[in-house]
Structure 1
């Protein structure tokens, strides 16, 4: 064989080998993931986006790290050890996502939580769904029989090492590549388990994917929910974990809780279904509009805007829209008409266009001279998150404001040195414009904010307070007029006032002492010098002296009524810094929220003016409290939640708010299969213990190991053998049937939440003794209400609940003159005030938008004749008519007279 052919053959064989290796690796990953095997079957890694990084780093070139994995008994074999690295692209190091107006934050990292919460959750869900932001695994191995390990092929830099065993786990950051003799000590790993359910029906979602992300290390751990929607991942190292759940046909959702997990937890993750949202665009006359862009965005909170285009019949559709209220809007290209509506999929949405209005006119001063630069802004008047309409007057004082979407306009006119003016304007006849306004000159305060070095300070808040009465009167909130502004890039500010005279100026900025000084209005050239004051910095450590990166720091002023504390998170090395402090006596407190208890450590701090203090806070080792949750029969009860709280008398006086000690859903330490629970690092002399579980009630009087009261068991130092008794609560049962006796799918109201009973049978726990009531709702039937009395230890069986059938009447509303459906217009339908009331009454009321056929449905109508009033746009001034619905009618046509909308 020729040399060139031999090289080609070797090259081709190499390619085949690489492809086969990649295939088997991929097949192994897919099999593990699809089998739903969680980390409870042993440590595991899913390559995900890390496959390429690990393949490149697996060569023998580069640096290495050697070490040993131990637990309390010595070296541990068979532990999976890996190395990862966080960088600018990993989840923990990314800057905050964009935030809506008024919620701006400094570009802190997402791990520090200094981002707007809803936007943060959306960004987490998006990144994890795309498998972005995961710290790449650069090397991994398994410990030998003597617990030793070697990680090879590492590039220079700091790494995070992970040890995941069958019974424990460990994570250690900032290990430099090339280091030898690293010791990783296994801790009791935590298991994260739970159920993924449908947010509407609360039914489990089999096959849902759950990804757990270690927030500091940005490592991803995956699991698949089983046929009951259950998942379990672990053991994992203690830490903060973000949870992201996804499923076919559902919106990916992120769930973040500021809790350091050092114990097992069990949670419920609710996902919203995605649906197709359809609609149609109509002209003001009710004809289809083709070829216009239709936009869609969530009506509440942040989110992306989607756009599609109407077809030849004016129809449009958006795919996979989560079942939440959304805002839809459109406008013609020449901006002469617009349409907007709210819709929740899978309903049909009608966008009926209306003419777009503009305002124009001139703004002058009291001498009738035109004013340039007047800002005219429309309040609460926007479309699909678009900017609020506003405009500035030109040199001739002229403006043209629009496009305006409503005839009722709340207009605000703003100009420095002039009194703000508010106007309520109704566009259209009889006043067609122009809209001219006059502004009155007002006294103002002008000045500059600088620091002690004379450097101008921007974005400083400046507040001017003026009394409305004589200067000698005691100031009361009702007598004070406050105006606020912020300094510009050069530190200059202007604050307008309602009148002349003495006032108080308050200037605040983060990291500086607040400045309060008397002023005279009007004034110019006011110079405000801000002092950085005292500061406190330091480190938070655990009982062994190791820095803690999982705590929040609060600095309390011990003076009475001193207000909220200064607060800050710590960085990855446990360091913190607080500035802009006044001289005084403080207490520096570090807080660590864990399941079932909030640990605190504090240190007094005395600050002198301008002092830069360095303080360290160290948590105590404390003691361990063990106990057991048992049922009323004395048998161990698993899955109960236990919380430990400080006594009110042990809460320091300088704390403004006492920690909450109530039953809070899914919080608390979870008792294990043997009913056992453990609290570690307890430092207070006494704690209150409370316990709860669905369908059970805590019985302190029957519990042991402490002193009971009505709601808790008081446990002091030295007491042991804690047994918390939970008694079974009475249950409410019933069978819902239709009028022919067949089981009826329905919803039952349970403590404010509708529970679906697909076969009409329900069995629900009752929370309180005494009188109670329940509501049953089924489509096509009148709502049923039942009252009952709950006695201790006795279930309540409502027996057979017969539902009375109702009917749904469809009202088709047509224009009386043209007989065209009044699709897309708002309508109110209710029982007429001037007609006899039927004997059986449901809600019998509807307010909303007519559909594409100009119709609306009213549910709960009895099989009796009834008279309804139908009015457009919700008021009789826009036209109202009465219509008689006979005892059997299911469709009725309403002819509405012409109106001046």
Structure 2
């Protein structure tokens, strides 16, 4: 993207996020949506320079006259590469899970569609067009005419002849609905964003809630819709179109109490859910209020020193969530050691903790240290279920379960016996390895089994199985017959042969 365009777009995103950072960081403000602007766009001129960019537009090899050609500064960092301000690392602003930035995306799309620096011209009867007085930079060219459309990326100013070939293009349709009732919403601003460029196509949903973009060049697109008084929605759009749901913003309010005492100001309440993350401090007597939220389920957490309070709150479509109570209690912990039957520690073992309470479960993960130890600190009371997994070892057949009390410690030692080797190759009748074959091993004594897919040379390995007899099933696809049989583990050099021909049900090798 040119420096001018990049700085303006980044400014829009930063200012949009900063507008609510003092209250909830990444949470939207109440009624967040893109402003509705007049139909007539007021575009800034392209930065002036001395360069010329000229070219010819063709359709089926012949010059195409009357085609509108637009020049937009090329996006070196497109929207599809911009980081989401709230979410897991690597999430972008276009990711459906980035709920915190849908409003900012709508405002950015509005700017790109109405005010982004752009120049337009129309091809003559000979198909030629020309842009003059351009500065040294690269530009994206968008062409649209009666016969078709085209997109050409990163064309350098000063190019003598640029060839633009029109394609038929395609029509994309977006349905905009009320988030609660599903009824069509008319008058919503809908923006189509090509993921490759710094351009946006704008329209308004009709009486049936439909927004149509036609024709547009082949490529990947994102769409965002907004309407005053509603929360913006966004998502990818394919050839079959998509549906966006605009919710009336809701609020969540309540109070944080200390055990046996009243609430107090300055306690931090963390909210997660619906693609949002936010942090707000309590006011006097522990009261808090969060606005501009879409309906759905949210997790609330308050941690103050060695005290903890957690709750899951459902905000319905038709009303706000009020009078939520969070009571701080002493933290609990789950700790233990994972070892072999000999007592040796197992490092890097994976430990999964499920904490249950009020009809829901929360998952936490840990990895054992070099001494085989792990610890989950400052967790809430409730039901506990622990599962263990380590490469080269057999996991316990059942989770370790129990009840964790407030301020208590749940001991969770586990012993994992060594796994039996289950390695080998799957070959064709000629003895050559066959890749992409699915092998499923099922224990005949009722214990858990495992599966794997062969590598290109036909080799496979199934980890975590106990010694014993197993039934195997091979799924090779259409080239060979499915095969079934039995093997005994441990076995480090299994050789299983396939038969050519279509799969035959219940046939054993």
Q: What TM-score does the superposition give when structure 1 sets the normalisation length?
A: 0.39
Matched, 1:373 2:347: yes
Unaligned 5+ segments in structure 1 are 1-31, 38-44, 262-266, 450-459, 470-477, 509-515, 529-557, 563-901
The answer (yes or no) to whether the contact 1:358–1:401 under 8 Å persists in 2 is yes
Q: What's the offset of the Cα at 1:260? A: 7.1
Which of 49, 56, 67 is 1:67 aligned to? 56
SS at match of 2:310: strand
Deviation of the 1:234 alpha carbon: 5.8
RCO comparison, higher one (Cα < 8 Å, 6+): 2
* Larger CA deviation: 156-165 vs 247-256: 156-165
Deviation, structure 1 residue 127: 3.7
Q: 1:507-551 CA distances to partner (integer Å, 9 max, x unpaired)?
A: 99xxxxxxx999874467x799xxxxxxxxxxxxxxxxxxxxxxx
The equivalences for 1:268-667 within 5 A come to 269-285=244-260, 287-298=262-273, 303-332=275-304, 334-344=305-315, 346-348=320-322, 349-360=324-335, 366=341, 369=343, 371=345, 373=347, 375=349, 377-381=351-355, 388-390=364-366, 392=368, 395=371, 400-421=375-396, 422-428=399-405, 435=411, 437=413, 439=415, 441-445=417-421, 465=441, 467-468=443-444, 481-482=449-450, 495-500=463-468, 521-522=489-490, 560=502
CA distance in 2, matches of 1:181, 1:374: 58
**SS across alignment from 1:82:** strand
Residues 1:256 and 2:259 aligned together: no
Question: 2: distance between equivalents of 1:140 and 1:327?
Answer: 50
The structural deviation recorded for 1:373 is 3.2
- In structure 2, the CA distance between the partners of 1:125 and 1:372, relative to structure 1 (3 Å rule), is same
3-state SS, counterpart of residue 380 of structure 1: strand
Contact 1:162 1:169 in 2 (8 A): no
Residue 500 (structure 1) shift = 4.7
Q: Contact 1:465 / 1:505 at 8 angstroms: preserved in 2?
A: yes
Deviation, structure 1 residue 306:
0.5
Residues 137 and 378 from structure 1, CA distance in 2 versus in 1: closer, same or farther, beyond 3 angstroms? same
CA contact (8 A) 2:99 2:276 kept: no
Pairwise CA distance, 1:371:
3.4
What SS does the aligned partner of 1:495 have?
coil
Aligned to 1:119, what secondary structure does the other structure show?
coil
2:334 and 2:412 in contact (8 A); partners too: no
Are the counterparts in 2 of residues 341 and 351 from structure 1 also a CA contact under 8 Å? no
Instruction: Please state whether the residue corresponding to 2:354 is helix, strand or coil.
Output: coil
Aligned-pair distance for 1:70? Answer: 7.2
Of stretches 417-426 and 143-152 in structure 1, the one that deviates more from structure 2 is 143-152
1:171 aligned to 2:150? yes
| Structure 2 alignment gaps of length 5 or more | 1-34, 426-435, 477-483, 505-509
Residue of structure 2 equivalent to 1:653: none
CA-based RMSD: 5.5
Shift of 1:282: 2.0
Q: Among residues 83, 93, 114, which one is paired with 2:71 in the alignment?
A: 83
Cα distance change, pair 310–386 in 1 and its aligned pair in 2 (3 A): farther
1:244 aligns to what? 224
1:149 aligns to 2:126 (yes or no): no
- Measured in 2, the distance between the counterparts of 1:195 and 1:497 equals 50
Change (3 A) 1:139 1:320: same
Q: Which residue of 1 aligns with 2:37?
A: 34
Task: Work out the number of aligned pairs and report it.
Answer: 432
| Deviation at residue 158 of structure 1 after TM alignment | 7.5
What is the SS of the residue equivalent to 2:254? strand
3-state SS in 2 of match to 1:313: helix
- Residues 196 and 205, structure 1, Cα contact 8 Å, conserved in 2: yes
- Deviation of 1:144 after TM superposition, in Å, equals 4.7
Q: Residues 845-867 of structure 1, C-alpha deviation per residue, up to 9 Å, x if partnerless?
A: xxxxxxxxxxxxxxxxxxxxxxx
**Is this contact kept in 2: 1:249–1:320, CA < 8 A?**
no
Describe the superposition over 1:550-595 as per-residue Cα deviations: whole angstroms up to 9, x where unpaired.
Answer: xxxxxxxx97569xxxxxxxxxxxxxxxxxxxxxxxxxxxxxxxxx
Q: In 1, are the aligned partners of 2:55 and 2:160 still within 8 Å (CA)? A: yes
1:119 corresponds to which residue?
A: 97
The answer to whether the 8 Å contact 1:374/1:415 transfers is yes
Structure 1 residues 126, 97: CA separation in 2 closer, same or farther (over 3 Å shift)? same
1:180 alignment counterpart: 161
How far 1:321 sits from its partner (Å)? 1.1
CA distance in 1, matches of 2:296, 2:410: 42
1:269-323, Cα deviation, whole Å (9 max, x unpaired): 4311212321111234473243221111216xxx231010112211111121112
2:276 aligns to what SS in structure 1?
A: coil
CA distance in 2, matches of 1:335, 1:145: 77
- Give SS of 1:248's match: coil
Distance 1:436 1:191 in 2: 58
In the TM superposition, what is the alpha-carbon distance from 1:164 to its structure 2 partner? 3.5
Distance 1:461 1:323, change over 3 A: farther
Task: Please give the per-residue CA displacement for 1:360-391, whole angstroms capped at 9, x wherever unaligned.
Answer: 45666556x46353747343339999971536
The answer as to whether partners of 1:82 and 1:161 remain within 8 angstroms in 2 is yes
The structure-2 alpha-carbon separation of the partners of 1:375 and 1:229, relative to structure 1 and needing over 3 Å to count, comes to same
Q: Secondary structure at the match of 1:496?
A: coil
Q: Is the 8 A contact 2:68 2:143 kept in 1?
A: yes
Distance in 1 between the 2:243 and 2:443 partners?
A: 54
Secondary structure of the structure 2 residue equivalent to 1:330: strand
Q: How has the CA–CA distance of structure 1 residues 124 and 160 changed in structure 2, closer, same or farther, with 3 Å as cutoff?
A: farther
1:55 to 34, 46, 53: 46
Matches within 5 A, 1:19-30: none
1-side partners of 2:252 and 2:123: how far apart? 54
Normalising by structure 2, we get a TM-score of: 0.64
Is the Cα–Cα contact under 8 Å of residues 160 and 171 in structure 1 kept in the other structure? no
Structure 1, residues 381-420: CA drift from partner, whole Å, max 9, x if none?
A: 399999715363664x665443332331001234455432
2: CA distance, partners of 1:338 / 1:249: 33
